[in-house]
């Protein structure tokens, strides 16, 4: 049995297939953890979802900002952007099955994997959140997304304010901060105020901001956090942090981390099919 963490696929189904062949992945034996942004910008978002749905419990998928955007667009809440490539899902005969499946996926996984405590998310975790609190808050959003009034949640989740967590936040302000931290954040102040315009590498942080994983007194520093989302950051391998978005959809690579009990985790990559993306 092998456990794999996989970065942002973003509709690159061919690259995902090549990666799984390289891994020797068997759904009867192994488990995949995909760190969000399953769809959009790549050429075959529907193929990615159908593949992962077919793996059942062997593919444990997190939601990213592009996945939430698809749900909002499918429900007429936000228009598609010029670079979006999710029409194959929206026009598919099994559209509703794919969208329903997507709504059931979590924003956080917090559990031991091969004896090591992990917290998995798409973008980041606010410095004041403990691992348990991050998982609990993600569960609040997951309940909204799975509830009967999920369209109201999708409509209200957009916006960048408030940008600072407070335990007294309620309603959509509370949900919006949770969503933005877990699916959009890259930089924040040492106090945890989020900034969403900067998308470059760690050496180009806005004044007064740091990468969220370098915030002082981060309450998740005692465990290992794995995330995607930040393609300009690329592969980051520290004892407490793994970043796995290596820009497949931008002509980079699709990356996986094979976990091992001795913590000598193996890094595996396959190149993106650039000709198809640019065709």
pLDDT digits (tens, 9 = 90+) for 89-141: 999 999 999 999 999 999 999 999 999 999 999 999 999 999 999 999 999 99
Structure tokens at 279: 């065709």
Structure tokens at 59: 């593919």
What's the per-residue H, E or C state across 84-134?
CCCHHHHCCCCHHHHHHHHHCCCCCEEEEECCEEEEECCCCCCCCCCHHHH
For residue 106, the tally of other CB atoms under 10 A from its CB is 20
Least confident interval from 7-21, 27-41, 175-189, 229-243? 229-243
Number of independent structural domains in the chain: 1
Element (H, E) at 139: helix 131-146
Nearest CA to 181 out of 224, 238, 150, 140 is that of 140
pLDDT digits (tens, 9 = 90+) for 9-40: 999 999 999 999 999 999 999 999 999 999 99
Structure tokens at 87: 């029409």
Structure tokens at 7: 């970065």
Residue 96 neighbours by CB under 8 Å, 6+ apart: none
Residue 2 neighbours by CB under 8 Å, 6+ apart: 23, 25, 29, 30, 31, 258, 259
Structure tokens at 269: 């990559």
Structure tokens at 82: 């010029």
Please give the span between the terminal C-alpha atoms of the chain, in angstroms, as a whole number: 38
pLDDT value at residue 276: 44
Give per-residue burial for 222-243: e unless 16+ CB within 10 Å, then b: eebbbbbbbbebbbbeeeebbb
Q: Which domain covers residue 259, as residue numbers?
A: 3-278
Cα angle 147, 195, 219; round to 5: 75
Kindly report the CATH number assigned to the domain that includes residue 150: 3.60.21.10
| Adjacent-strand bridge partners of 109 | 120
Do 59 and 32 meet the contact criterion of CB atoms below 8 Å apart?
yes
185 phi and psi, to 5 degrees? Answer: -65, 140
For the sheet with 236-237, list strands across it: 109-113, 116-120, 224-227, 241-243, 236-237
- Helix, strand, coil shares of the chain, percent, nearest 5, are 35, 20, 50
Answer yes or no: is pLDDT of 275 > 70: no
* Cα–Cα distance, 128 to 176 (Å, whole number): 16
pLDDT value at residue 141: 98
pLDDT-derived band at 234 (thresholds 50, 70, 90) equals confident
Percentage of the residues of the chain whose pLDDT score is greater than 70: 98
pLDDT value at residue 263: 84
């Amino acid at each position: 049995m092998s456990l794999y963490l996989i970065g942002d696929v973003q509709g690159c189904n061919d690259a995902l297939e090549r990666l799984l062949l390289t891994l020797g992945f068997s759904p009867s034996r192994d488990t995949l953890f995909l760190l969000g942004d399953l769809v959009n910008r790549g050429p075959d978002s529907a193929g990615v979802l159908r593949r992962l749905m077919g793996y059942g419990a062997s593919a444990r998928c997190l939601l990213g900002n592009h996945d939430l955007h698809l749900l909002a667009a499918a429900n007429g809440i936000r228009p598609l952007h010029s670079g979006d490539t999710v029409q194959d899902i929206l026009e598919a005969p099994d559209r509703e099955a794919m969208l329903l499946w997507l709504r059931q996926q979590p924003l956080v996984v917090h559990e031991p994997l091969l004896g090591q405590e992990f917290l998995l998310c798409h973008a980041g975790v606010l410095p004041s959140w403990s691992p348990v609190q991050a998982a609990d808050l993600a569960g609040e959003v997951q309940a909204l997304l799975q509830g009967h009034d999920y369209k109201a949640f999708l409509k209200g989740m957009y916006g960048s304010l408030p940008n600072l967590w407070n335990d007294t936040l309620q309603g959509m302000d509370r949900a919006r901060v949770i969503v933005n931290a877990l699916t959009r954040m890259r930089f924040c102040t040492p106090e945890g105020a989020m900034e969403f315009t900067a998308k470059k590498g760690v050496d180009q942080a806005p004044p007064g901001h740091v990468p969220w994983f370098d915030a002082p007194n981060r309450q998740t520093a005692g465990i290992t956090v794995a995330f995607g989302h930040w393609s300009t950051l690329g592969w980051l391998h520290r004892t407490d942090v793994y970043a796995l978005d290596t820009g497949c959809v931008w002509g980079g690579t699709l990356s996986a981390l094979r976990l091992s009990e001795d913590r000598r985790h193996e890094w595996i990559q396959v190149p993106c099919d650039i000709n198809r993306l640019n065709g």
